[in-house]
Copies of this chain bind each other. A is one copy, B any other.
């Protein structure tokens, strides 16, 4: 048996997230069905993260055990013939026996895209949060790095997580504005691991800073309070992209 790791990307618009469930189609189900069909053996895959309904991935890694004779490097092409337009396999490799897509990950980077314009852009609606009000982007840029470092992020977590600790290390938290297209604002968050809905709550909180409802100078206290009600709303799913999963691949 080989432990095979695979890198994919997907447009999550039409899916109930990654994890297989009874209520609707998920990315895991689409992948497992295609791999089962391709290899002729029942395949169960383990993903690097549960992504929510409507969230996208530019880089998502999963692993699975298989006896397939198909050369590993050819698996993505063979699989893509069985996948629809929303999901694409990019790369596969034979991983060490103990590689685990979730537990071996050393960190992840997410980006969250905001379109800040009076009128909605049809080409961005599936891939961003439309905010028609004025945002003070400079203040958002100042507030974001305050969240960098090792902190208890209990205030930035939705109910429903199953973690032992709410301490996480954010390596990068920044807000950028496209100079060519100032209405396009991107929040980047890289951390060792994430709490449930953490990036969407960080983005919602930074948006409150942009609206002027949270002051930059109050951010350290809000972070320290560990109080969900002092942070912003949870930003909607369609602006969120898993951008990169990091491993020590030796």
The interface of chain A, by Cβ under 8 A from chain B, is 9-11, 56, 58, 76-77, 80, 85-90, 118-123, 125-127
Are the CB atoms of A119 and B76 closer together than 8 Å?
yes
B119 & A123 in contact (Cβ 8 Å cutoff): no
The 6 closest A-B pairs by CB, nearest first: A11-B122, A85-B125, A88-B120, A86-B122, A88-B119, A88-B122
Count this chain's copies in the assembly. Answer: 2
A80 & B122 in contact (Cβ 8 Å cutoff): no
Q: Are B80 and A11 in contact (CB under 8 A)?
A: no
The answer to whether A85 and B123 touch across the interface, beta carbons within 8 angstroms, is: no
The docked-state distance in angstroms from the alpha carbon of A122 to that of B126 is 12
**CB–CB B9/A121 < 8 A:** yes
Residue of B nearest to A58 (CB): B123
A127 and B123 form a contact (CB under 8 A): yes
Q: Contacts A85-B125, A125-B85 hold; do A90 and B119 have CB atoms under 8 A apart?
A: yes
Task: Report Cα–Cα, A173/B69, bound state, in Å.
Answer: 48
Determine if B11 and A89 form an interchain contact, defined as CB atoms under 8 angstroms apart: no
Cross-chain pairs A/B with CB under 8 angstroms, 15 sampled: A9-B121, A9-B122, A9-B123, A10-B122, A11-B123, A56-B123, A76-B119, A77-B118, A80-B119, A85-B126, A87-B122, A88-B120, A88-B121, A88-B122, A123-B127
9 more A-B residue pairs beyond the given contacts A56-B123, A80-B119, with a C-beta to C-beta distance below 8 A: A77-B118, A77-B119, A85-B120, A85-B125, A85-B126, A86-B122, A86-B125, A88-B121, A88-B122
A89 partner, pick from B56, B58, B119, beta carbons under 8 A:
B119
Task: A119 to B8: give the CA distance in the assembly, Å.
Answer: 10
Q: How far is the CA of A125 from the CA of B87 in the complex (A)?
A: 10
Q: Which B residues lie within 8 Å of A56 (CB)?
A: 123
Nearest to A126 among chain B residues (CB) is: B85
- Complex Cα–Cα for A120 and B87 (A): 9
Nearest-CB residue, chain B, relative to A90 = B119
Structural contact, A85 and B11, CB atoms closer than 8 A = no
Q: Across the interface, name the chain B residue whose C-beta is closest to A13.
A: B122
| Bound CA span A120–B11, Å | 12
Contacts of A90 in B (CB 8 A): 119
